[in-house]
A = this chain, B = another copy of it.
Amino acid sequence: MLITLLTDFGTADYFVGAMKGVILSINREARIVDITHEIPPQDIQAGAFTLMAAYQCFPAETVHVAVVDPGVGSERRPIVVSGGGQFFVGPDNGLFSFIYERERDARVFHLTNEEYFRPSVSATFHGRDVFAPVAGSLSKGVSPEQLGEEIRDCVRLPFLNAKLSADNSVVASIIHIDRFGNCVTNLTPDDITATMIAAGVNLTINGWKITSFRRFFAEMQDTPSELFAIWGSAGYLEISAYQASAAQLLGAKRGQPVTVKSDK
């Protein structure tokens, strides 16, 4: 009966309130949890990253509603994903790409059974008229099979996985920048092993060379703006600076390439 919301609606308008009202009108016992409504407008990739980092903390049977939906009202399909014991409701535009990668049992259903929508579906607000009522129904025990046909051609974001290049360096990229300016790369402990770090590794990004690896933010408090790499809480290598924005220091943007080389 847990339902989370993740949108790009902001919190200043009536959009989020309306979604909550619709859910609670269907299931008064639903417990609604806001993940965030501050995904940059129509930024599917940021929505996908944030959902990925949050959903893993939730218990089984949680229903996650995610609405970052530039194509609302057009041909893009509304879907529900069942995977890892949880449900994900939203548009078929790549928003659930990380779920497909991580939950090997993921199944995707095209929401076509209008019986579970609001009586009159607006062309512009499927969050309220399609996704919220479907989430309410799922939280009451309706199964994905009742909501529509299973599909196998769902949209996936082109993942920017780290790659090994010809000269043995690893070419990665920044997939997220958080509000403190930490730059999250797509490098995992599979790409840079503890052995490699011990032997000496450096990262190059936007012309800057980063050689320092830390275990926590406050490790060397004397050098406030020194750039360093650290394993972040989402499980990826992050480029950070103590009490400063690494993104600003580096002039880095999402998508920026990061090259990893052995020192030797």
Contact = CB atoms under 8 A, between A and B. Distances in A.
B17 A179 contact: no
Contact of A73 (B15, B56, B219): B219
Interface stretch (A122-130, A166-174, A192-200): A122-130
Interface string A228-259: 00111110000000010000000000000000
Nearest to A42: B243
A154 interface: no
Interface in A1-39: 2, 4, 6, 9-22, 24-25, 28, 31-39
Interface stretch (A108-116, A142-150, A210-218): A210-218
Contacts of A38: 10-12
Nearest to A49: B14
Contacts of A49: 14
Interface residues of A, number: 68
Contact of A36 (B13, B22, B215): B13
A100 interface: no
Given A123-B215, A128-B233, A36 B54 contact: no
Contacts of A36: 11-14, 16-17
Q: Which of A4, A180, A231 has most B Cβ within 10 Å?
A: A180
Interface in A67-122: 70-74, 122
Contacts of A221: 74
B33 A233 contact: no
Contacts of A125: 233
A28 B216 contact: no
A221 B71 CA distance: 9
A186 to B, nearest CB: 16
Given A37-B11, A38-B11, A179-B13, A219 B57 contact: no
A12 B12 CA distance: 14
Nearest to A180: B41
A175 to B, nearest CB: 13
11 contacts: A10-B38, A12-B38, A13-B50, A17-B34, A18-B53, A20-B35, A25-B58, A74-B216, A74-B221, A123-B230, A125-B233
Interface of A: 2, 4, 6, 9-22, 24-25, 28, 31-39, 41-42, 49-51, 53-59, 62, 70-74, 122-125, 128-129, 178-180, 215-219, 221, 230-234, 243
